Amino acid sequence: KASAAPRLAPREVWLYDPGYTSTACCRSAITFIDGENGILEYRGFPIEALATTCGFYTVAYMLLEGTFPADAKVRAQFAKSIQPGLDLDPVVANVVESFPQEAHPMTVFMAATAALSASRPAWNPALVRGDGGSLRLVYRTRAERQRIAQECISSLTSIAAAVFRHMRGCPVRFPKSTQHLREHPLDAFAPDGFARAFLHAADPEGTLWPEQRHASAVFAETLDVIFVLHADHELNCSTAAMRHLTSAGSDVLTCLAAAIGALYGPLHGGANEAVLNMLEEIGSPEAVEAFVASVKRQERKLMGFGHRVYRSYDPRAKILRTLAQQVLREASTEGRTANGPTTANGASDPLLIIAQTLEKRALEDPYFTERKLYPNVDFYSGVLYRAMGFPSVFFTVLFAIARTVGWLAHWMEMLERDATDAERKIVRPRQIYIGKRRQRIPLEAVE
């Protein structure tokens, strides 16, 4: 008779931890989170200080290298090496063009990233015999890994820009890229330089955001801060996927494509798009009450709320909340947001008002506070992206651009470890088998 009781292999003690809520599988010196007190630090520096004083170039360097750039020359060299370009690898361009314009940009982005791997066979790790005679999986020298990581950031940001152009019906291959860049050189020293470079690559001819050229400085600065806030977050689902594949010896671009796939999920990075859809569905501040009631009946989730690690307000959400108010005020001084007229008094985007009403309502309700459900980074990022004129389906690609740095910082950190280090072992969790065990194939199944 089959038993429903878990069956364990003999002589082994296993920890059964679904969702890995309390299992650490590596040590890391990249990001520190104190979830109880809402603290986030990159390399020991508080996120609030980084977001107000450093641009994405500097933060990216610091996450990858563990230190700030030694001088302006090092910073400029690094900025140039991660800058997105207008030229695409032909394989990648073909892949992007093969998708219908209305395909979800995360699918196109993931497929194009995986396809780039076909053009970089030299980036595969190699099996070599180490000093002790054992076989080791080696991923080149540190200098080569640094160069590969920088090229990955530049390539993935260029792909993201091309995906944006494609979904807007513009050519994926930019015909006059060299001449264009000569005429419009990018400033690697600007504090918001990385966001500006991405916006430039996404819209080289300046035709896609005609109504907000006036506000581009504020939007580029804000986008750069959003990139800083999203750059790393220790062992979240997508970073865990990155480390998981790295442990199997997959090449870096395949690892990145898998991480993009994990980020796409609505419980992870895809929540920013889901928040916007939810706010649009609620439709008005008056409808918030009924929506909250349906969440409390557990018919819905309050997207952009809750976090596995934070048991208090996500510090990134606090920064984004303030930014959203500033950006929308700025947009409203011109009489309109990127998505249409502002509210009657010109104060703000209607969706921001719904978001604020929803947040206030949830934070006053013991249902949410007892479960420690507070806004997370995705709650306000969508409102900001919308104010900048990005379509909601593109939000998670913007998240992925920034998180690529974190994924690569973890990739570098993992490969820094000696190949015999236990943390370089292939990641292979165990399961508890709860199925039946049977001896005979039933007669009717015999072919």
Which residues are designated catalytic?
Answer: 307, 378
Is residue 193 within 8 Å of residue 55, measured between CB atoms?
Answer: yes
Residue 281 has which token pair? 């569905």
Among 43, 200, 307, 424, binds ligand ACO (CB under 6 A): 307
Closer residue to ligand ACO (CB): 349 or 378 = 378
Is residue 93 within 8 Å of residue 173, measured between CB atoms?
Answer: yes
- Please state the closest distance from residue 272 (CB atom) to ligand ACO, in A: 8
Rounded to a whole number of angstroms, the distance between the first and last alpha carbons of the chain is: 26
Q: Which residues between 52 and 111 bind ligand ACO (CB under 6 A)?
A: none
Among 168, 308, 318, 329, binds ligand ACO (CB under 6 A): 308
Distance CA 436, CA 104 (A): 40
**Interaction pattern, residues 124-163, with ligand ACO; x per rule: CB under 6 A:** ----------------------------------------
Closer residue to ligand ACO (CB): 20 or 68 = 20
Question: Is residue 302 part of the contact set for ligand ACO (CB under 6 A)?
Answer: yes
Which residues does residue 34 pair with via DSSP β-bridges, in sequence order?
A: 39
- Please state the closest distance from residue 74 (CB atom) to ligand ACO, in A: 31
Q: Which stretch binds ligand ACO (CB under 6 A): 31-39, 59-67, 112-120, 295-303?
A: 295-303
Residue 138 has which token pair? 């080696």
Residue 177 has which token pair? 């890229």
Beta strands in 54-200 (DSSP E): 126-129, 135-138
Residue 109 has which token pair? 């982005």
Is residue 185 within 8 Å of residue 193, measured between CB atoms?
Answer: no
- Please state the closest distance from residue 65 (CB atom) to ligand ACO, in A: 24
Residue of 223, 120, 99 lying closest to 172 (CA atoms): 99
- Please state the closest distance from residue 301 (CB atom) to ligand ACO, in A: 4
Q: How many other β-carbons are positioned within 10 Å of the β-carbon of residue 101?
A: 11
Question: Is residue 315 part of the contact set for ligand ACO (CB under 6 A)?
Answer: no
* Residue that is written with structure tokens 């200080």 in the block: 49
- The four Cα atoms 391, 394, 399, 403 give a dihedral, to 10 degrees, of -160
- Please state the closest distance from residue 297 (CB atom) to ligand ACO, in A: 11
- Please state the closest distance from residue 393 (CB atom) to ligand ACO, in A: 17
DSSP assignment of 47-71 equals HHHHHHH--HHHHHHHHHHSS--SS
Among 305, 374, 407, 411, binds ligand ACO (CB under 6 A): 305
- Please state the closest distance from residue 160 (CB atom) to ligand ACO, in A: 17
Which residues does residue 32 pair with via DSSP β-bridges, in sequence order?
A: 41
Q: Long-range pairs for 286-293 at CB < 8 Å and ≥24 separation?
A: 288/354, 288/357, 288/358, 288/361, 289/361, 291/358, 292/358, 292/361, 292/362, 292/365
**Interaction pattern, residues 246-275, with ligand ACO; x per rule: CB under 6 A:** ---------------------xxx-x----
Q: Report, in this order, helix, strand and coil percent for the chain, each rounded to 5.
A: 55, 5, 40
The number of C-alpha atoms within 13 Å of 288 and in the hemisphere containing its C-beta is: 18
Closer residue to ligand ACO (CB): 240 or 331 = 240
**Interaction pattern, residues 347-386, with ligand ACO; x per rule: CB under 6 A:** ------------------------x-x--xxx--------
Please give the angle made by the CA atoms of 62, 237 and 303, to the nearest 5 degrees: 105
Closer residue to ligand ACO (CB): 39 or 208 = 39
Closer residue to ligand ACO (CB): 299 or 447 = 299
Among 295, 320, 354, 358, binds ligand ACO (CB under 6 A): 295
- Please state the closest distance from residue 391 (CB atom) to ligand ACO, in A: 19
Closer residue to ligand ACO (CB): 228 or 303 = 303
Question: Is residue 323 part of the contact set for ligand ACO (CB under 6 A)?
Answer: no
Q: Which stretch binds ligand ACO (CB under 6 A): 57-65, 188-196, 199-207, 301-309?
A: 301-309
* Residue that is written with structure tokens 């959400």 in the block: 317
- Contact residues for ligand ACO, defined by CB under 6 A: 19, 236, 267-269, 271, 295, 301-308, 371, 373, 376-378
